[in-house]
Chain A
Amino acid sequence: MDMEALYQQRLKRYVTAMRNEKPDMIPIRPFAAEFTAKYAGYTCQQVTQDYNLAFDAACKTAGDFDFDAVVGNMVYVWSGLTQAIGLKYYAIPGIEIGENIGFQYLEPGEEEAFMKPDEYDQLIEDPTGFLFNVWLPRVSNDVCEIGSPSTYRNNLSFLKGGMAMMNYFSSFPGQGQRLRTECGAVSAISGILKAPMDILADKLRGYLGLCNDLCERPEKVLAACESLMPHLAHVALSGADPDKNVPIAIWMHRGCVPFISHDNFDKIYWATLKPIIEEIWSRGHQTLFYAEGKWDAHLEAFATLPEKSIVFHIDQSDVFKVHEVLGEKFAISGGIPNALLSYGSQDEVRGYCKKVIDCVAQDGGYIMDASAIIQNDASIENIKAMTDFVREYGVY
């Protein structure tokens, strides 16, 4: 079969499964990040610092394994860009950490949070202005505070950062085409979304700061999340697949119980995320809920979304419960524990894959993947065992 025919076959398989229907076989869509470096013979430093090497590694891995869909570069944070801007919240392999450790996000302490508790009104009034004027000078070593004398490094941060981002983003269509023509693989996702409350916790107030605010100024937290909503929806849609085949991915971090209470989930987290998902769906795009952690307490809430509007990815959530609550309306992906892929035997991997397929994939609507992003601790033999087993056992 030529590559284009293979690509079309895989695209149909992947999209059919995501629409919660039954394809010819279970699609395999591993979110392989630093694993691709390990497999292709690169260090984490190499694929983080040079995105062309990351693209090479993704292509080699997709081509050698029988993957239906992959991300063009799952080692997404290109440190060349973060260094050009001067961002201070990453530990970069080969600099702050060893060359074979994946990049790390360094959340500041509560007192050093990038947004102060008395700054909610500024954020609510003008989120974009707040990011440029208040947030960026705090997260960059090079960007000057508004009102302070400008510097050479400040000016270079915007010039180098802007050009680097343009370079990087402009390279993804070519990588998608390369995956298609060299490997017959589909680019698995297009566009990025995060929940308003996750953004507050991750990049603005920090998780501890947010927890304090949920007790001391919950009305401000809600108003801030509401002010972020149209912007997050806009950015998500601006990167969406124009053909409406593959989903926008939402990376879900700390919006579930026990990180926050049921009440805060209902009244703030979900109240300000659900309308975004509905808006995206109204434009014809699915959202991939990359539900990192355990979301069992909220499956009933997700079940209120329109049929087929999401694909629910299982990390620590109970695969059987997810299937019971969401399986009628939405496709499911993931659920193969990363620890098993790293430290289990090949027989154990095959056995777990069989259990998941038997439980959730009998009528289609399932996409095979690990629970979480696959880093360089995963065993090459186990990833091969997972892939080969699904190809053999996952035929409808």
Chain B
Amino acid sequence: MKETRKQPGTCIPWQQKLKELGEIKGDEELIRKIWQDNDALAYIYIWHCLLSF
């Protein structure tokens, strides 16, 4: 399959969010993980609207 600029599983990429947050004073990895977990739910929502309902 061709590479896609917009990655599957993502609505707002972490790198984009990270720029908005600026300097991270604590555990960046934890923030990234939770951001991506919730972002993936939004992704699943719209794709299941299309595919399943």
Contacts and interface: CB of A to CB of B under 8 A. Distances in A.
A302 B45 CA distance: 31
Interface string B1-24: 110111011110000000000000
A230 B4 contact: yes
Contact of B45 (A77, A135, A162): A162
Interface in B39-53: 41-53
A199 B45 contact: no
B6 A229 contact: no
Size range of the chain A interface in the assembly: 35 or more
Nearest to A161: B45
Contacts of A229: 1-2
A194 B48 contact: no
B52 A132 contact: no
Given A233-B8, A235-B47, A82 B2 contact: no
B9 A234 contact: yes
Given A229-B1, A230-B1, A136 B46 contact: yes
Nearest to A124: B4
A220 to B, nearest CB: 15
Contact of A165 (B1, B8, B48): B48
A128 B11 CA distance: 7
Given A131-B49, A161-B45, A199-B50, A234 B8 contact: yes
A160 to B, nearest CB: 12
Contact of A128 (B41, B43, B52, B53): B43
A165 B43 contact: no
A275 B50 CA distance: 21
B53 A81 contact: yes
Nearest to B3: A230
B6 A275 contact: no
Contacts of B1: 226, 229-230, 233, 275-276, 279
A238 B51 CA distance: 13
A127 interface: yes
Contacts of A129: 6
Contacts of B41: 162, 166
B6 to A, nearest CB: 5
A126 interface: yes
Nearest to A272: B1
Interface string A128-148: 110110011001000000000
Given A126-B6, A203-B50, A230-B4, A235 B44 contact: yes
Contacts of A217: none
A76 B9 CA distance: 23
Given A131-B46, A162-B45, A227 B4 contact: yes
Nearest to B40: A238
Contacts of B10: 128
B50 A230 contact: no
A271 to B, nearest CB: 11
Contacts of A276: 1
A355 interface: no
Contacts of B8: 230-231, 233-235
A209 to B, nearest CB: 16
A101 interface: no
A226 B2 contact: yes
A129 B52 CA distance: 18
Contacts of A233: 1, 8
A340 interface: no
A77 B51 CA distance: 11
Interface string A278-315: 01000000000000000000000000000000000000
A192 interface: yes
8 contacts: A128-B10, A162-B41, A162-B42, A194-B51, A230-B1, A231-B8, A232-B51, A234-B9
